Amino acid sequence: MAQTENELRSWSRRSLLAIGLLAGIIATGTLGYVAIEGWPVWDAFYMAVITVTTVGFKEVHDLSPAGQAFTVGLVLSGVGAALYTFTLLATIIVEGRLPQHLQRRRQAHMLETISDHFIVCGYGRIGSMVAAQFRRQQVPYVVIERDADRCQAALADGAPAVEADGSREEVLMRVGIKRARGLIAAVGTDAENVYAVMTARDLRPDLFIIGRTETDDGARKLKRAGADRVISPYFIGAQQMAQTALRPAVVDFVELATGTNNLELSMEEIAVSQTSKLANQKILEANLRQRFGVIVVGIQREDGRMEFNPEPDTRISAGDKLVVLGRSDSLKQLETEASATTS
């Protein structure tokens, strides 16, 4: 991406210089006709333009010998500049550099303003699937990919992508790590993921970080580097296959509850804010089942403890995360109440 940006900047500079040169020659021609022939400014400007562009129209007014000599000089100096400028601009448009430049500018603006997003390091098999899930659920994210072909594939898939090394501080700062919701290290090797996690943790001690690993040793190193969760695709895949073989109905239910294609039923975690009126209420008192039509499957306490299938008299505390099952619209209503300020 750096090379592409340098090329775009070079083309921009050359275009501005060419346009500036052409404008300067036309301005000189205008002033020359005003000074030599005494013409009005508009007539002088019109004559300068048709002379430089060689459109072949007749002279605005009869020229004096001095004016004819000036016109010859203007033709010799201006025609080449006009041809060069028009050829350069046509090349930029035909070869797609202008749309590419505009796309880069839009992406740069997006990176400056995006917030509450995920940073996905790596766009291989795992990273691309993670990005696809985020797209389906309309979760904002940014991809960092060092390989040029994979970065282009991410852009083609509609992902905001940066061709760079995800373990570099300046790159993470550029994609808004200070405003990010979380980071997923899904690069090809454990070593690269460890470096990315270490750098991210150093920049944002409170950031939620997930690391991908292929080995047990890699999992330990990612944990030490600062990853909150470590995922092994091979382990998850094997576990899923075993569970499907042993308990297919259970697996079907979990997929129904958590799958993105199901619009009727969802399982979500909802954080209870310090100012929510749900705080310090019992589940029965909050009346969540009757009011929102949701089932509280579990409660993750602020210290990380998970309580499964809590009793009706279990008290909800500020900072807890409710794991609930219900319709998408009902979950959104509950989420609004969980984050609302007590009146």
Which of 8-12, 158-162, 165-169, 287-291 shows the lowest mean pLDDT across its residues? 8-12
Classify the C-alpha dihedral 84-89-90-95 as positive or negative: positive
Whether residue 107 is contained in a domain is answered as no
User: Is residue 82 located within the same domain as residue 119?
Assistant: no
Which structural domain, as residue segments, surrounds residue 317? Answer: 263-339
pLDDT at residue 2, rounded to an integer: 45
Q: Which of 53, 73, 98 is the last residue of a domain?
A: 98
**DSSP structure class, residue 315:** B
Q: Which of 68, 98, 128 is the last residue of a domain?
A: 98
Average the pLDDT over 333-342 and give the result. 81
User: Is residue 126 located within the same domain as residue 232?
Assistant: yes
User: Is residue 203 located within the same domain as residue 128?
Assistant: yes
Q: Which of 342, 283, 339, 273 is nearest to 309 (CA)?
A: 283
Q: Which of 236, 251, 279 is the last residue of a domain?
A: 236
Question: Considering the chain, what percentage of its residues have pLDDT values greater than 70?
Answer: 87
Whether residue 245 is contained in a domain is answered as no
When divided into structural domains, the chain yields a total of: 3
CATH of the domain at 91: 1.10.287.70
Average the pLDDT over 152-174 and give the result. 89
The set of residues, in sequence order, having a beta carbon less than 8 Å from that of 4 and lying 6+ positions away, is 100, 104, 163
User: Is residue 89 located within the same domain as residue 133?
Assistant: no
CATH of the domain at 119: 3.40.50.720
> 123, 145 in Cβ contact below 8 A?
yes
User: Is residue 298 located within the same domain as residue 212?
Assistant: no
User: Is residue 125 located within the same domain as residue 224?
Assistant: yes
Q: What's the CA gap between 120 and 70, in Å, rounded?
A: 62
Residue 3 has pLDDT above 50, yes or no: no
- The model's pTM is 0.60
In the block, tokens 């997923």 appear at 184
CA torsion, points 329, 330, 332, 338, in degrees to nearest 10? 170
